[in-house]
Amino acid sequence: MQKNNYFSFLINLLYSFLKLSLVVLGLMSLVRLYIFVAYSNTFSYDVAETLAAFWLGVRLDASIVAYINAGAILLVFIVWLLNLKFLHKYLYTFFRVYFLFFLTVLTLITLMDLVYLSYFGEHATLMIFGVFDDDTQALINTAFANYNVPLFAFLLLVYFAFLSFLVFNIIKEKQALKPSWNIYKQLGFFLLLIVLTALLGRGSVSMFPLAYNIQDVSANPFINRLPQTSAYAIINSYEQYSKSKSGNYDLIKKVGYNGKIDRAFEVYMQTQEINRSDLLGNLNHKTQPNKLLQEKQPHVVVVMVESFGMPLLDYQSESFNILGRLNKHFKEDTLFTNFISASNGTIVSLEPVLLNIAARPESTSFAQSEYINTSFRQASAKVYKNAGYETTFVYGGDLSWRNIGSFALKQGFDSVAGKGTIANALGENIADISHDWGVFDGYLYKYIEQKLQNASKPQLIFVLTTNNHPPYKIPADYKSNRLEVSDDLRAHITSDISLIEQRFKDYAYAVDMAGEFLDKIKGSALAKNTVVAFTADNNTIEGNMRYENHFTQTKKVPFYLYLPEYLKPKSAINTSLASSHKDIFPTLYNLTLSDANYTCVGTNLLDESVLHCGFNDAGVIMSNDGGFEMGKATTPSQQKCQEYYKASLAVTEYLIQSHK
């Protein structure tokens, strides 16, 4: 084969790459269109902003496709440069397999991201890799219960057959182009093609690649997330996960306080008058002496309910009785209404509460890191233990989950109880009272009530429930309340209506069981000496709904308090304060303990003289002016909370590192 003819052969091979790339870009844009239609969080959009988001998305998609093409183009260039004509008959077959492999990987990555998006309402974060640390069997059961896995597998096979057909019919030998170029033009063509591919992969000629920091195109957070490409989301998530797992995690530097930690403490303390010789001493507090509490120490029960988000409660009515028996308690007692979760995942919301700190963004759980055997000085249960309490951590599932049982024992809990302990104490068969993730919540509360009734000393009981979690199973003998989905609610739902109705039933069951537990506590002698607090790990239903005010609503969870009469403050509690999980125990200490020392990165919500802000590690901040995204503060109050958040993270990390 002559050099010019061979160049024509290679040009046509490269042309087939281009045609396949355009088809792939079209498919990737269809995925983005699906996300836009299925998960849009409002009813009207600015057309220019939406088009800009789609165009930015195409550029990011093109970057991924360019990286896939880069290896193929370099191989073709080497074949041309070394005049490897003997490879002629193998090239088309090789590149069919090459592209089929990489496009299959791209498809699987996209599916992973879409599943995550359907649950959490955002593209993949490092939490997606937590699946390897989770209860694998329960996850498999969840998948089979919530999705038609056989149908999905069949459709996937059909898709891969279509993909194979596409690749094999586009990457095939045709002589569509016959350029007659000399050797120098041919070399120039290849060099130009390599440069253009590199630029397309980089996506930008500015200092940073396009994917380094995806720019905002709108004030609407959903539109800003629309351009993200699944491949980049998964790659970024894996980098964050690996960095966090390896211990190569520098949060102080990330939030801008590297080499100036004193300044972080000044911002956190809201004063320049800090203890510079003992920075951690600035985090020490003491509750007021209280003779009543000295004479009568109350039991304290703190319950973290799985996925109990607040926004759904806006639709509470007789025909949509989602709150059930908890409704009257929310009306009678104290409910903080501008309270947000520390994180979007269970373990990363739970641990900051147990450790009295702010949740650290882009980090793995302490119980699955180098800190697994660390007993943290500031752990919340230790304060009660030092005050003479018996402290118990209760989880409705297996205590091996995320190493939570062994970790809790190192954080001031005298004992831990999982589903086996609960079933045994109640005289029940585990299988009869359990779903895939643990015991049904009703049995969990029976165990707590039994433990309180039999207590001989004051109790601190921290509880983590397991209902209201996929695959959404409730006891067969439980009769659900009316849950008729109104037109208004239906208009705000973005996921499959049959699955969301199943989820509503599990949500309503979990909440109703919390209400039943309070009925029993308040209807017994325990009402006079028991404090009960309810919160939730996250509002994961956010992935299935659209909101009018996204950042103000999306992370809201309850912080509810039942207080016996003798513990109620004389002045009214301001329940509209911006707050989050970090504030739970500092508030409880000041309500239930006399003259007790504690260390925390959080605030007492009874003290209105200090700055109150809520933090979620996804970069959502709650201020008295509403919720907003990190870096998007628009009012003085929001700007103050934004700086306070960064300082709190630096202070938290400084405290954590002091245990090394």
DSSP string covering 230-277, please? HHHHHHHHHHHHHHHHHT---HHHHTT-TT-HHHHHHHHHTSS---SS
CB environment 358-377: b (16+ within 10 A), e (fewer)? bbbbbbbbbbbbebeebebe
Residue 575 has pLDDT above 70, yes or no: yes
pLDDT band at 85 (very low <50, low <70, confident <90, very high): confident
| pLDDT score of 42 | 64
Share of the chain above pLDDT 70, in %: 94
Contact 105, 163 (CB under 8 A): no
pLDDT top residue among 543 and 87: 87
> Cβ of 146: how many Cβ atoms within 10 Å?
17
| pLDDT score of 134 | 57
pLDDT in tens, 120-164: 777 887 667 766 555 566 667 766 766 678 888 898 899 999 999
Q: What average pLDDT does the segment 543-550 reach?
A: 79
Q: How much of the chain is helix, strand and coil, in % rounded to 5?
A: 55, 10, 35
Residue 26 has pLDDT above 70, yes or no: yes
Residue 288 has pLDDT above 90, yes or no: yes
C-alpha–C-alpha distance, residues 333 and 475, integer Å: 29
| pLDDT score of 546 | 79
The DSSP letter of residue 497 is: H
pLDDT top residue among 302 and 370: 302
Q: pTM for this one?
A: 0.81
pLDDT band at 660 (very low <50, low <70, confident <90, very high): confident
Quote the radius of gyration of the chain (alpha carbons, Å).
Answer: 28
| pLDDT score of 135 | 56
| pLDDT score of 245 | 66
CA distances to 4, 78, 91, 193 from 174, in Å: 16, 21, 13, 20
CA distances to 335, 342, 495 from 557, in Å: 10, 10, 21
Token code pair at residue 634: 């628009």
pLDDT band at 1 (very low <50, low <70, confident <90, very high): very low
C-alpha–C-alpha distance, residues 127 and 349, integer Å: 12
Side chain identity at residue 165, one-letter code = F
| pLDDT score of 498 | 85
Q: What average pLDDT does the segment 370-395 reach?
A: 96
pLDDT in tens, 249-269: 899 999 999 999 999 999 999
C-alpha–C-alpha distance, residues 130 and 364, integer Å: 8
- Catalogue the long-range contacts made by 653-659 (C-beta closer than 8 Å, 24 or more residues apart): 653/251, 653/252, 653/360, 654/252, 654/261, 654/264, 654/279, 654/280, 655/280, 655/283, 655/357, 655/378, 655/599, 655/601, 656/357, 656/360, 656/371, 656/376, 658/280, 659/371, 659/374, 659/376, 659/377
354 alpha carbon, distance to own chain's centre: 18
At 532, which helix (H) or strand (E)?
strand 530-536
Q: Tokens 């170029």 label which residue?
A: 181
| pLDDT score of 4 | 53
Token code pair at residue 293: 């509490």
Residue 88 has pLDDT above 90, yes or no: no
341 alpha carbon, distance to own chain's centre: 10
Q: What average pLDDT does the segment 379-395 reach?
A: 98
pLDDT top residue among 115 and 317: 317
Q: What average pLDDT does the segment 461-471 reach?
A: 95
Q: Is 567 left (phi over 0), alpha (psi -120 to 50) or beta?
A: alpha
Token code pair at residue 127: 């939490």
Token code pair at residue 9: 């052969």
Collapsed DSSP state (helix, strand, coil) of residue 286: strand
| pLDDT score of 182 | 87
Average pLDDT, the chain: 92
Domains in the chain and their CATH numbers?
Answer: 3-246 (no CATH), 261-657 (3.40.720.10)
DSSP string covering 155-182, please? HHHHHHHHHHHHHHHHSS----------
| pLDDT score of 127 | 67
pLDDT top residue among 660 and 344: 344
Alpha helices in 82-123 (DSSP H): 88-120
CA distances to 308, 361, 373, 455, 459 from 251, in Å: 29, 8, 21, 42, 36
Q: Which residues contact 477 (CB under 8 A, 6 or more apart)?
A: none
> For the ranges 44-53, 204-213, 621-630, which has the lowest average pLDDT?
204-213
